[in-house]
A = this chain, B = another copy of it.
C-alpha cells in the first residue's frame, strides 16, 4: 500500500477548505497564524504556504503587514464566479469527445435522479453535486482547464454553507442536471451546453438572496 506523502502545505490547504465547507470560519475575519498553526499542530511555515496558495485562488486576501483573512462574500463576487465557472465548464464540454459524453449520459442521469432526498446533510449534497460535475467533465482532455475549474470552485466554497437549510431548490437543481444529461444522451451538445449554463445561472439566482451584503 502506498503511504501518502504529500507536502504539509497541501494537506493544510485541504483541511482549511474542509473547515470552510463546515462554516467554521466566518468570512471577513482575520486569521491568526500562530493560533491556527498551533491548532493544526504544524508550524507557521507550511501554514503560510497554504494560506498563500488559497490567496492565489481568491479564497483569502492578504494585506501588507496585516496578514490574511477570509475574503468577505458578496453578491457581486458570487455572480462573477458563477459566470466564470459556467464559461469554463461549457468550454470543457465543447472540448470533450461527444462519444464519451453520450456514454456517461445515463450515469449522469442516474446520479441526478438519486439526488439526496433533501434530508441529507448539507455536506453530502455538496459532495454529490461535485461528483456530478466531475463526472460531466471527466472526458475533457484539457488538463489545465480542469485544474482551473477546481481552483475557481475552491473560491466558491466560501458560499457553500450559506445554502444550508434551503430545500426547495434541490429538486430544481436535480431537474436541471437531468436536462443536461438528456441532451447529452440525445447527442445534442449545444443544447447540453445551454442547459448547463442555465443551471449555473439559476443556481446563482437561487443563492443570491441568501448572501448577506
Contact = CB atoms under 8 A, between A and B. Distances in A.
A142 B95 CA distance: 24
A148 interface: yes
A9 B91 CA distance: 33
B9 A52 contact: yes
A77 interface: yes
List the number of copies, as a whole number: 2
Interface string A62-94: 101000000000000100110110011011000
A144 B48 CA distance: 23
B58 A57 contact: no
A7 interface: yes
A16 interface: no
Given A48-B49, A56-B57, A87-B90, 18 more contacts: A6-B64, A7-B62, A7-B64, A9-B52, A45-B45, A49-B49, A56-B151, A58-B144, A80-B144, A80-B145, A83-B145, A84-B88, A84-B91, A84-B144, A87-B87, A87-B91, A148-B148, A148-B152
